[in-house]
Amino acid sequence: MSTSPVPAADTETAAQRHGRLRLSRGITATWWYTVSAVVFLEFMIVVVWTGALVEAGRAAATVATVGLSGLVWWLSTFLLLHDYRQRTEQSPLARWPRALAPLLVAGCFGLLAGLVSGLWLMGVLPLIQALVLLNWPAGVRGRAVIAATALLAALWFVDSRATMPPDASSTWWLLGFFSVTLPGMTVLSLWWWDVLMTVDRARASESRLAATQERLRVATDVHDLQGHHLQVIALQLELAERLMPNDPDAALTQLRAARQSVDEARQGTRDLALRFRSVPLTVEIANAADLLRAAGTSVQVTVHADADRAPASVLGPVIRETTTNALRHGGGRWARLSLTRDADAWRYEIENDAADASPSADGAGLEGIGRRVEDGGGSVEIRRRPQEFAVAVRVPVSTEESR
């Protein structure tokens, strides 16, 4: 037998919650990495452009105009990125009432920068960059970016021949490199985000498919169970109707059989519902420990590694009832829960401090536990000590579990 001071289900449940939280945080962090990359690239473009104009000896008013209008264009990008995060394959190309303003800002900035600098590259790039951030289909976006990069490279070649100073420094070459590659680097950053969202949507679809398959399985089980019993009942009633005129006793026998079939159908439905509603015992104990801790009780838990194989139909209600008793009649300072396995039996035990060690006037709960455990072939031991109360339940291991 192997035991652990930490409940397995509590660990699993916490791991699942932690996993979902990490996934959500990871998606959010990835998005902000994507946004940071795009806006950093655009901000560097504005810095490089203003630096190149300064080195070219342009007037301070020209440099200030390009720099300030470039910051406005840079800020307008956040609106397009906000809409981009909401994109789906079915969503339109752009939310035009919202996307129109950033596109106009990009067009005006490009026109202004192109006029004051005399560079075609500055005049065209802002609008191309804004268009890249729209919700283009994946294939269309890729071809558009290739075409845009080729156009920007051609414009930079024209500008370098016509406008670039003879003694151009590295800033001018950086201007050309960053400007030509900006759309491609932006799309590459967005591509990683699109891949992540595709994987996340696939995971969500898989979860919905699993839930749908489970519902279909439940529906099939209910149909098979009820269909069988209803067919048997219909045959028994039909036979009773035929026998009634000539053999009332035989007809009465068939009616009693039909009533028994109804009881069997009802019991089968209850068993089926219990099977789908049942909670693993490790989860039951984890919930009990959480409930006691929420009440301010210090809880120690020991759970066998294979505790979920124990008879949940017997021990599940026992765990819930004894936890309620500990909350109602316990001292509220400490409690110990354990579910362990011997060679031939499962043993569940809960101990807690008691404000009053005398028997409670309300013993219905313990009596119900005793009846349920006896029906399952087990036994119950109740220990009352000064300032301490304990309930120990022993349930035999089933033949199926042994195999």
pLDDT tens per residue across span 102-141: 999 999 999 988 888 888 988 999 999 999 888 888 778 8
Helix ranges restricted to H, 278-349: 281-294, 312-329
CB 13 within 8 A of CB 290: no
Tell me the mean pLDDT in the region 300-310.
88
- Of 304, 316, 367, the C-alpha closest to 340 is 304
Which amino acid is present at 299?
V
- Identify the residue with better confidence: 14 or 228: 228
Q: What pLDDT is stored for residue 363 in this prediction?
A: 53
Please tell me the distance from the alpha carbon of residue 271 to that of residue 268, in angstroms, as a whole number.
Answer: 5
Other C-beta atoms closer than 10 Å to the C-beta of 17 total 10
Q: What pLDDT is stored for residue 71 in this prediction?
A: 92
Q: What pLDDT is stored for residue 223 in this prediction?
A: 77
CATH, domain 281-402, list 3.30.565.10, 3.40.449.10, 3.40.50.1370, 3.60.20.10: 3.30.565.10
Size of the chain, expressed as the number of residues it contains: 403
| DSSP-assigned letters across all residues of 130-175 | HHHTS---HHHHHHHHHHHHHHHHHHHHHHHHHTS-TT--HHHHHH
Least confident of 196-205, 211-220, 347-356: 211-220
Please tell me the distance from the alpha carbon of residue 30 to that of residue 37, in angstroms, as a whole number.
Answer: 11
Please tell me the distance from the alpha carbon of residue 379 to that of residue 366, in angstroms, as a whole number.
Answer: 12
Q: What pLDDT is stored for residue 20 in this prediction?
A: 64
Tell me the mean pLDDT in the region 128-156.
88
Q: What pLDDT is stored for residue 350 in this prediction?
A: 94
CB-based contacts of 318, cutoff 8 Å, min separation 6? 348, 369, 372, 373, 393
Please tell me the distance from the alpha carbon of residue 178 to that of residue 263, in angstroms, as a whole number.
Answer: 79
Tell me the mean pLDDT in the region 53-64.
83
User: What CATH number should be reported for the domain whose range is 208-277?
Assistant: 1.20.5
- Identify the residue with better confidence: 207 or 248: 248
- Of 257, 259, 271, the C-alpha closest to 225 is 271
pLDDT band at 84 (very low <50, low <70, confident <90, very high): confident
Q: Is the pLDDT of residue 273 over 80?
A: no
Phi, psi of 120 (to 5 degrees): -65, -35
Q: Is 356 helix (H, G, I), strand (E, B) or coil?
A: coil
pTM of the model: 0.52
End-to-end C-alpha distance for the chain, whole angstroms: 16
CA distances from 108 to 39, 111, 115, 120, 165 (A): 19, 5, 11, 14, 26
Q: Which residue ranges make up each domain of the chain?
A: 25-201, 208-277, 281-402
- Of 56, 7, 73, 2, the C-alpha closest to 286 is 7
Q: Is 279 helix (H, G, I), strand (E, B) or coil?
A: coil
Beta-strand pair 330-341/345-354 = antiparallel
Please tell me the distance from the alpha carbon of residue 318 to that of residue 307, in angstroms, as a whole number.
Answer: 15
Q: Is the pLDDT of residue 68 over 80?
A: yes
Classify each residue of 135-162 as buried b or exposed e, where b means 16 or more C-beta atoms within 10 Å of its C-beta. Answer: bbeeeebeebbeebbebbeebbeebbee
Least confident of 8-12, 86-90, 290-294: 8-12
Q: What pLDDT is stored for residue 394 in this prediction?
A: 93
Classify each residue of 202-238 as buried b or exposed e, where b means 16 or more C-beta atoms within 10 Å of its C-beta. Answer: eeeeeeeeeeeeeeeeeeeeeeebeeebeebbeebbe
List, for residues 222-243, the tens digit of each pLDDT value: 777 777 778 888 888 888 888 8
Region for 88 from its dihedrals, namely left if φ exceeds 0, alpha if ψ lies in -120 to 50, beta otherwise? beta
CB 344 within 8 A of CB 401: no
Please tell me the distance from the alpha carbon of residue 184 to that of residue 320, in angstroms, as a whole number.
Answer: 60
pLDDT band at 8 (very low <50, low <70, confident <90, very high): very low
Q: How many Cα atoms sit within 13 Å of 112 on the Cβ side?
A: 19
Q: What pLDDT is stored for residue 5 in this prediction?
A: 42
- Identify the residue with better confidence: 223 or 186: 186
Q: Is 299 helix (H, G, I), strand (E, B) or coil?
A: strand
